[in-house]
Structure 1
């Protein structure tokens, strides 16, 4: 019982950290005009990546680790599919900004000035990721209340 509670709490906290981090990174990218803006963007990106790892690990443990209702319950819950579709879209959208931020980090570490002209595009991607993260929270809240689950399946 204690491990279920801790996993759920950590999972929920990771959503908060993820939301704060993606909003901060998006805001930083929107305002990015020079390399002086990059340290804050990199810190926010680290928070975004770290919270995503925690979300995925705790989510997998809760679904397949025998701590919660079990994989059969989740795999038959429509809102779980909504949540997973949002996660996949977030991860697919992350490919482009992640690659750019890795290039920027490498350029800065070499003392070069990275090309920051695409920063507004990455900020727009962050807006979509934020929306999808909120969709995941709504789906999770609905699943916790049995919305969309057949009466006998709970």
Structure 2
């Protein structure tokens, strides 16, 4: 029971970090940024990536590790599959901004780089989807979908 509580806590905190980093990225984005600011965004994006990995580790352990609810509770629930699918979509959307930040952070810190509009929209879409997932989690926790 203590392990389940720690896993759920770790899962929950990871969600907060994901939301915080996405909001930070969104607020720091401008149409033109210096490489120094892009480097800062890249570091925030790195924290985002680590929090996604910790969320995945805790979530998969809760799903398959036999802690708490049985595996079937999740595996047989279509709402869980939608939630997982949206998480994958967020991951796919984050690839281009991450690659852009990594490629453009090096060089003269004062150089100005134009930020593609698609990065703004990808981060906004990630934020929208990340705010839908808790609704699905709440429905799933109530057993809806089984």
Query: 2:34·2:112 contact (CA, 8 Å) conserved in 1?
Result: no
Q: Which 4+ stretches in 1 moved above 4 angstroms?
A: 111-115
Distance 1:141 1:114, change over 3 A: farther
Question: What TM-score, normalized by structure 2, do the two folds share?
Answer: 0.88
Q: What do you get for the CA RMSD once the two structures are aligned?
A: 2.1
Structure number with the bigger relative contact order (C-alpha 8 A, sep ≥ 6) is: 2
By percentage of residues, which structure has more strand? 2
Question: Pick from 126, 131, 135: which aligns with 1:134?
Answer: 131
Where does structure 2 lack aligned partners over 5 or more consecutive residues? none
Could you state the TM-score of these two structures normalised by the residue count of structure 1? Answer: 0.84
1:123 maps onto 2:124 in alignment: no
Is 2:62–2:68's contact at 8 Å kept on the other side of the alignment? Answer: yes
Q: Give distance in 1, aligned partners of 2:85 and 2:110.
A: 37
Give unpaired runs (5+ residues) of structure 1.
Answer: 150-154
What is the aligned length?
146
Instruction: Report if the CA contact (8 A) 1:61-1:67 is conserved.
Output: yes
